[in-house]
């Protein structure tokens, strides 16, 4: 069994196409998406259509929730909320009612039997929340308490923080996918994870894929995206918006 997991695409269809091409070259058995499909990118409709055409499992992320109902007080710094809702409104203007219904009805987590020996638990941010942030440097006890709540699982995968990593805690594996569309680790290459399982053995790898960053940066301006200068800096520098 070989599975590819992608997340945090954020409307970056150029990066998504590069990743899907890379995944195809690896001859994976299946693909799953762990949330944040189209918000904060220049091509939300194209990105969502690509994901839906895969006919694969898709989990809801916080950005998918924001597209459906907006960014609420207390969810982001207040000085950023007005602009983020302007970005959300622009994103919604590019979608149709069926797209919004699709995002609204996405599940929050999936459990997988990779085979008869290995179980995998996947979610966007934590099993309990679409918004909580658990960073790579979190203590083992913190990771165990916040992310590894399904004790019968052997592997745990999540997205949300845009920082790919793999750690082993109490004999189990925990990995973050990073981000397809908006990596935050200073490397402007799309990130995703491949899991290979064979009986009681498994391998987790972080894959990095180059894409045309400048094309995406230009799209923000060409398509009239609100907050274009900030998002251009994010994709070019692979750093969080300041």
pLDDT single digits (tens) 174-184:
999 999 999 99
- Whole-prediction pTM: 0.97
Given a cut of 90, whether residue 143 has pLDDT beyond it is yes
- The residue written with tokens 């459990």 in the block is 111
Q: In which domain, by residue range, is 99 found?
A: 2-237
In sequence order, what are the beta bridge partners of 126?
none
List the CATH number of the domain containing 134: 3.60.21.10
Contact 184, 239 (CB under 8 A): yes
For the chain, list the strands marked E by DSSP. Answer: 2-6, 30-33, 109-113, 119-123, 155-158, 165-169, 172-176, 190-198, 201-209
Q: What percent of the chain has pLDDT over 90?
A: 99
**Is 53 within a domain?**
yes
Mean pLDDT over the full length of the chain: 97
Rounded CA-CA distance 156/168 in Å is 10
**Is 46 within a domain?**
yes
- Going by pLDDT thresholds of 50, 70 and 90, the confidence category of residue 242 is confident
Given a cut of 90, whether residue 121 has pLDDT beyond it is yes
Give the model's pLDDT for residue 152.
Answer: 95
**Is 242 within a domain?**
no
**Is 60 within a domain?**
yes
**Is 230 within a domain?**
yes
**Is 217 within a domain?**
yes
Give the model's pLDDT for residue 177.
Answer: 98
Q: CB atoms < 10 A from the CB of 17, how many?
A: 16
- The residue written with tokens 């799953």 in the block is 32
**Is 171 within a domain?**
yes
Q: Which helix (H) or strand (E) holds 98?
A: helix 97-104
For the chain, what is the domain count? 1
Contact 62, 36 (CB under 8 A): yes
pLDDT tens for residues 61-100?
999 999 999 999 999 999 999 999 999 999 999 999 999 9
Pairing of strands 2-6, 30-33: parallel
Six token digits for residue 29: 């058995």
């Amino acid at each position: 069994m070989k599975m590819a997991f992608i997340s945090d695409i954020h409307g970056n269809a150029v990066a998504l196409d590069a990743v899907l091409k890379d995944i195809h070259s690896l001859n994976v058995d299946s693909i799953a998406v762990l949330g944040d499909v189209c918000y904060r990118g220049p091509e939300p409709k194209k990105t969502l259509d690509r994901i839906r055409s895969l006919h694969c499992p898709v989990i809801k992320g916080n950005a998918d929730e924001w597209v459906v109902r907006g960014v609420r007080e207390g969810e982001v710094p207040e000085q950023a909320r007005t602009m983020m809702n302007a970005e959300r409104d622009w994103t919604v203007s590019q979608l149709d009612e069926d797209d919004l219904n699709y995002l609204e009805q996405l599940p929050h987590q999936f459990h997988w039997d990779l085979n008869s020996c290995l179980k995998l638990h996947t979610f966007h941010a934590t099993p309990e929340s679409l918004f909580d942030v658990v960073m790579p440097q979190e203590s083992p006890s913190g990771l165990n308490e916040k992310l590894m709540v399904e004790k019968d699982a052997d592997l745990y995968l999540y997205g949300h923080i845009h920082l790919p990593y793999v750690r082993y805690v109490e004999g189990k594996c925990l990995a973050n996918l990073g981000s397809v569309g908006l990596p935050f680790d200073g490397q402007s290459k799309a990130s995703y994870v491949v899991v290979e399982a064979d009986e009681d053995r498994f391998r987790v790898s972080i894959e990095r894929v180059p894409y045309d960053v400048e094309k995406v940066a230009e799209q923000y301006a060409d398509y009239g995206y609100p907050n274009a200068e900030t998002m251009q800096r994010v994709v070019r520098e692979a750093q969080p918006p300041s």
